[in-house]
Structure 1
Amino acid sequence: MGNSPAALNAYLAMSGALAEGDLKPADREAVYLAVSVGNGCQYCVSAHTVIAKKAGLLEEETLAVRRFESPDAKRAALLEFVRKVIAAKGFVADAEIEAVRTAGYSSGQIAEAVGYIGLATFSNLFNHVNDTELDFPAAKELES
């Protein structure tokens, strides 16, 4: 990304803006991690497993998140919403938005989750195009 100040600035600006939002760090990392799994980005799965742990998730929670699940009911609703947004390319029913809102997320936090879907996808695709070398400990393999 450093080869293009515009691309780097876009990533950093969006990342910085979203970090100032209302979504808790553990929820932000859960979304980023789940999206990275969905996009098959081993680099981001590994990196955001480490970062998610720093944000308070335990190892078993990171493994659950990678299956779009969580032992926390509120976060599980967020991850289900993220899964549906990705699967439907954003064309989700009002009931899907209402379900995540009923779980306890505000409209602003839902908007931030969609922002993290976009940010993670940008990062994932960038890593795929550039075959970014893994400089984090590899994430533990999921059991079948």
Structure 2
Amino acid sequence: MTPDTTRLRNGACPCLSGEQYNDCCGRFHRGDADAPTAEQLMRSRYSAFVVLDSEYLIRTWHSSTRPASMDLDRDLEWRRLDILGTSDGGPLDSAGAVEFAAHYRSDGERGVQREISRFVREDKRWYYVDGDVRQ
């Protein structure tokens, strides 16, 4: 499935880096580059949810926990990503964690998904493993 970039606001990257999508998470989604840190992978995965890029989400999910397929909810509108903290996950680390809050709207209601996501680095690439949802 091709990313739905019509969901972008003024071409800005949904991860809130301040850059344009094509120069930020878009390059990861296209496969032009790999995210160098766990946090950048987290940001690019959030952006993939925004633009409905399930192929990227599957590709960056670790094989030990990866689902066979994903159906993304077209009616769910992801609005903002807040990175609350990181643990390891740098360019030379083999594992890391990112705590985040992802704000959304669904059926006119606002909500927040809070999670601590775990990542591993194998063959110089970061992968999402799993996460603990927080209340």
Instruction: Place the TM-score, normalised by the shorter chain, in its bin.
Output: under 0.3
Higher RCO (CA 8 Å, separation ≥ 6 residues): 1
Taking structure 2 as the reference length, the TM-score comes to 0.28
TM-score (norm 1): 0.27
The answer to which structure has the higher strand fraction is 2
